Structure 1
């Protein structure tokens, strides 16, 4: 995956505490970075907020942080959130009636693609991509 990351011209990476505060900070910092790059940030900010909140809630291991990476080239904006719970992969969105768990439905609706990859042990990364040409870039 590091070879793939090296291909992106614009990169922002930060490690944050796996707390609600860390999740909020992930959204705020990434939004400011996207603004400085001149990219649209509304939909990506929502996806970042959801993935970071999931990392802080479901991917939390005491004493372990999560990592946010925001990467962009001419065609794609990629968001990656890596947490310490590789044993807890997100389930595909279910549109059935329930009280919580609608976040990945939001991610699926806003992003052009999303998915997960395992490793390095014991971590997992949940990623989402946006096609930039569709945003008038």
Structure 2
């Protein structure tokens, strides 16, 4: 007779997706929506993870609006909670404007008085991982960034063993 199976804790996949107008207003809204969604998922406003994700979303959305804008087409914000991290994805439909990929080049630090050039430097500093992914349907690109949640991983492990936090 086989041994009885140990019940596994349920796996909940948390995903938030929103298309936004490729305008400065859409970029601001993306940041606000991201922070509010994280709060709904139990990652409070003002926490290190929330602040990092807010800054990453702000920079990637601003890049999508400034460099990836195609008139009449939106950009998309997608947030998900894979185990132990927050994944941010910002997609636009411009194919000819591609940011450098991580490791391809060393991102140059902007001059302190420059008005532009800090976006991907901030993403590089705040994200634990990031990448640029080409899209075929519809054409364009997605910039993805992940912020690790070490405390979240510990909580999941504790719940799996039946311990109380």
- TM-score relative to the length of structure 1: 0.87
Q: Which runs of 4+ in 1 moved over 3 A?
A: none
Unaligned runs of 5+ in 1: 1-6
2:91 is aligned to 82
Unaligned runs of 5+ in 2: 1-10, 44-48, 153-165
2:123 is aligned to 107
Equivalent residues of 2:77, 2:91 under 8 A apart:
yes
2:66 is aligned to 57
- The superposition leaves residues 19-67 of structure 1 with CA deviations (integer Å, 9 ceiling, x where unpaired) of 0000000000111000110124111000000000000010000000000
1:73 is aligned to 82
- TM-score relative to the length of structure 2: 0.73
Equivalent residues of 1:82, 1:123 under 8 A apart:
yes
- The superposition leaves residues 53-99 of structure 1 with CA deviations (integer Å, 9 ceiling, x where unpaired) of 00001000000000000010221210000001122111352125372
1:4 is aligned to none
- Structure 2 counterpart SS, 1:82: strand
Query: Is 1:16–2:20 an aligned residue pair?
Result: yes
Q: Which of 14, 19, 31 is matched with 1:27 structurally? A: 31
2:3 is aligned to none
- Deviation of 1:16 after TM superposition, in Å, equals 0.3
Equivalent residues of 2:110, 2:118 under 8 A apart:
no
Moved more, 53-62 or 8-17: 8-17
Question: Based on CA coordinates, which of the two structures has the bigger radius of gyration?
Answer: 2
Whose strand fraction is larger, Structure 1's or Structure 2's? 1
Q: Which of 88, 94, 99 is matched with 2:108 structurally? A: 94
